[in-house]
Amino acid sequence: RVYLIFRRLRIANPNTKKKTIQDWHLFILILIFLAVDIGYLVIITALPSTRLSRIIVEVEHEDGRVPSLVGKCVSSNRDIWLGILIGYKCIELLCGLFLAFETRNVKIEELNESKFIGFCIYTIIVTVIALIPVGVFVSDQTIWYAITGLAVMAVIIVILSLIFIPK
């Protein structure tokens, strides 16, 4: 909304028709992004190449080594679908960077969140880059889930703090 309003002011064409941006326009845009994500999940789940693989792993326990059944979702086309997901999410981040860049000169302080949005995107990118070696080099799934979960929670706390605490 801020981008559309201030883009019109920058163009300052007297023939430009004024158009109000309703809240439902923004909700439709969010629903489109959500529908793409849900469609991706439905497609990748419905594919016949996706299956559940069960592995028996021995876990250390106070009584000794105890066998544990671990389930893992595997797919023969995992790399292709992961590439599609990463590409789509990168496009979303680039759109966010574009909007933050275009609205950086807004004089109204309450509407100028471009610095915070840019820092949020920077935090996401740095965390993802830092987690790539963890996914490659850590073989224990429990440690990998713990590190990834803590990183995701830290990123969420930073993002929510940057967006809501200044207000």
pLDDT for res 21: 66
pLDDT for res 71: 77
Q: What is the DSSP string of 100-147?
A: HHHTTT-S-TTT--HHHHHHHHHHHHHHHHHHHHHHHH---HHHHHHH
Q: Which of 45, 37, 39, 1 is nearest to 19 (CA)?
A: 1
Q: Give yes or no for residue 81 having a pLDDT over 60.
A: yes
N-term to C-term CA, the chain: 18
List pLDDT tens digits, range 47-62. Answer: 777 787 888 877 777 7
Q: Give yes or no for residue 127 having a pLDDT over 80.
A: yes
CA–CA gap between residue 9 and residue 60 (Å, rounded): 65
